[in-house]
A and B are shown apart, each in its own frame.
Chain A
């Protein structure tokens, strides 16, 4: 693993070659390998849910998708098909092929898309608030038609939970502060690309192909995807292993309640 972090600052403790650039990656812990595919907040360095998964006895490998925290700017990713192919490559590059997976938000959506065409990419999956379904009577909120501070408040129930992404360490060098800002912007851009203008790309028609056991997790206070979607996903997926509605958790419940998500994952992967 390449330890050089030319631009990503604290966001990417490690990088892996990917196409003409690189992807950021965080790896920690020992034990059976578990993958983590991030959500809208990317992988802002070593963050709590990764530590909790490691503490539960796993070797956690968390790659950043192209454009997200610590990875090169995406090149040639123009539509969902491009992103699914890229996700497939990232899973292979990170050595996660066939491993159990925790995925959140936009990462959970891509994991389902990939599982629909390449089921062997993953083992069991724990999915936190996936994007991909849409109900006109209970629509998914727009996290980008708002100010940055409101967007932050929409992502987690406790804004302190997203500090690793939004707040730079006080000792970060000035030039890195600029680059962190650029990486934050690129991360938000990549997330926006996946769910703009509204996050429904026909996934419901492909879900019958997802045979992997899926454990669903949703924050009861998700301000982006209503908690009612937990039931919708449970009805739409063919192999649901369990559902969990977490109190005091927003959209990225893996940031609000990292220990709870890790416990659910440990039980699902046991």
Chain B
């Protein structure tokens, strides 16, 4: 099993009363809360953490794309990938990914991933998400009714651009290009592996299964809650009579490891509460714009990941309001009452599996259970979350890499071939200063 150190890059200094005073961490987060000095320090600290993870031996480092988002400071993951590409010479880079429909034309993605593949000598994995409603529909003004068609057309264009040996014309519904000719070409041939991050759309299951693409469920709610989604994908694979190769699946998981369980409970409480109670303070009105889901998903009643985050935040807010009303409405007259939010407890986060916590043995057991029950061969590990102190990130990263990863690295490797990973025989040796 491959372990990918994955970073969301949250803004670490949202005020403690953010959930009470602000409607949403996403889309309409108050611009005045952003301090460029904090941003400067944060970007560099996070790049340090990604580079450290690479040095620790993670199979890859991973990043993603968000817009107008207080918990995701990567509007352009390719810029972060470029910053990493020279300093992580032995590690693969998972961009999970570029929200294809937001690029006009999407050829830009084909070009930039090809550039990165050239710089890294063939160590890129290209993720193509539809993108969350907050990113695509609200922050970037995409039309929800046409987003998915535009996205699929964009992915088709990129795949053709990477694989065609000839200059060609592309006559799409959204992209009219007389001359398609991606220079540079990717090192990996025919192209870097393609992973599709999904949030629970049944049509994405169908598509990934049919096209032999990796389906990654980037859930914030852990493996216990994510099981149904991954089972939905594997059922589609089985229906097509294909092998349920675990390397065709990916999952994201918060991990908190320490020498002892007691120490882990003590160390990780604050960053976990910051992430789940502040970073996921998403206004429910941004979670489900009409048209974002396919009719099949609506009919199946499948709830998306960010939709769930917003629903749970709303439920906590309503519970809080009910409590306030029960207490005599004392808070109801204060400005903060409108956004007031009941906190999710750290104990609940761990009990429900949002966070795998414990000593190395306990974490190893749970990661093993996750991988085998969900049948996933690519684990996106959140060793950093919330406003975690850099030293704690370092410890968490190193402990996972040295004490957990070796115990799970062999999973699936003897029985299945990972067709969706940069292949050594397609890679080029480091050159220039990187070779030294």
Contact = CB atoms under 8 A, between A and B. Distances in A.
Nearest to B288: A148
Interface stretch (A163-171, A177-185, A247-255): A177-185
6 contacts: A144-B289, A146-B285, A147-B314, A192-B291, A193-B291, A197-B137
A182 to B, nearest CB: 5
A94 to B, nearest CB: 23
Contact of B295 (A147, A150, A185, A188): A185
Interface in B161-175: 173-174
A115 interface: no
Contacts of A147: 284-285, 314
Interface of B: 27, 137-138, 141-146, 149, 173-174, 284-286, 288-291, 293, 295, 298-299, 314
Contacts of A150: 285
Interface string A127-146: 00000000000000000111
Interface in A181-207: 181-182, 185-186, 188-193, 196-197
Given A73-B295, A150-B285, A78 B144 contact: no
Given A78-B173, A182-B298, A189 B285 contact: no
Nearest to B298: A185
B143 A196 contact: yes
Contacts of B285: 145-147, 150
Interface of A: 73, 78, 144-148, 150, 178, 181-182, 185-186, 188-193, 196-197
B298 A181 contact: yes
A234 B295 CA distance: 39
A113 B295 CA distance: 29
A178 B300 CA distance: 9
A166 B416 CA distance: 50
A191 B299 contact: no
B290 A191 contact: yes
B286 A145 contact: yes
A148 B286 CA distance: 10
A196 B299 contact: no
A197 B173 contact: no
A204 to B, nearest CB: 20
A182 B295 contact: yes
A190 B289 CA distance: 11
Contacts of A182: 295, 298-299
A45 B343 CA distance: 44
B291 A189 contact: yes
A160 to B, nearest CB: 22
B290 A189 contact: yes
B145 A193 contact: yes
Contacts of B288: 148
A83 to B, nearest CB: 11
A196 B150 CA distance: 15
A185 B293 contact: yes
B311 to A, nearest CB: 10
B177 to A, nearest CB: 17
A185 to B, nearest CB: 5
B2 to A, nearest CB: 38
B146 A78 contact: yes
Which 5 residue pairs of A and B lie closest in terms of their CB atoms, listed nearest first?
Answer: A188-B290, A193-B145, A189-B291, A197-B141, A146-B285
B131 to A, nearest CB: 15
A147 B289 CA distance: 9
Contacts of A196: 137, 141, 143-145
A189 B145 contact: yes
Nearest to B143: A196
B299 A192 contact: no
A193 B289 CA distance: 11
A145 B138 contact: yes
Given A147-B284, A192-B290, A197-B142, 10 more contacts: A78-B173, A145-B289, A146-B285, A150-B285, A181-B298, A182-B299, A185-B298, A190-B145, A196-B137, A197-B143
Contacts of A189: 144-145, 290-291
A188 B292 CA distance: 11
Contacts of A197: 137, 141-143
Nearest to B297: A185
A193 B143 contact: yes
A144 B290 CA distance: 8
Contacts of B293: 185
Nearest to B291: A189
